[in-house]
Structure 1
């Protein structure tokens, strides 16, 4: 697998809560955060090991073999250090597409998911 991009940031919720959000992003009773664009689809959870790892299928039908791996660790402030790694078994996309994929994951995780926790 080729790494297309990776980024880590902290979220205010503890790892078990973030893990639940990633494993079941549309769980009833939680604030919606997985706001997809017209060219995106809901991910499938391909692997999950609570509370430290989750792997999603691709959000992009145009890149069906890509995978998004999440690593979650507790941060000193009681929140979570969340790292996403976008992987592909094939060729990496061009720079423009790569930038778009990274930006979308940054938006979904480090803005939309973060704000769903009230911060």
Structure 2
């Protein structure tokens, strides 16, 4: 697997809450957060290991062999969330890789974060 993106940021919720939201991102209710673009699909959870790790399938049908590894670390009641973008084949070109990294940042560190009130 080739890594083509990685980022860590803190979320103001404990790991078990963040993990549940990542494991079921389209859950209905007050904190629904996964708002996909037309070229994206809901990911499948491939490797669950609550509350510290899970792996998503690709959100991009044009990159079906990619995976998104999500690592969660407790930081005193908050969560340090890291996403790692992996490709089983060739890395995407710079433009596509930049788009995917930007979307992951938006989805996790803006859209999901705002559901926690910050």
Secondary structure of residue in 1 paired with 2:113: helix
Aligned partner of 2:107 in structure 1 is 108
Cα deviation digits, residues 67-91 of structure 1 (max 9, x gap): 0000000013x11000000000100
Gaps of 5+ in 1: none
Aligned partner of 2:38 in structure 1 is 38
Cα deviation digits, residues 63-119 of structure 1 (max 9, x gap): 00000000000013x110000000001000111111000000000000000001111
Secondary structure of residue in 1 paired with 2:111: helix
Gaps of 5+ in 2: none
CA RMSD of aligned residues (A): 0.8
C-alpha separation in 2, matches of 1:59 and 1:30? 23
Q: CA deviation at 1:28?
A: 2.8
Equivalences for residues 26-105 of structure 1 within 5 A: 26-76=26-76, 78-105=77-104
Displaced runs of 4+ in structure 1, greater than 2 A? none
C-alpha separation in 1, matches of 2:59 and 2:30? 21
When the two structures are superposed, what TM-score results if normalisation uses the length of structure 2? 0.97
Aligned length: 118
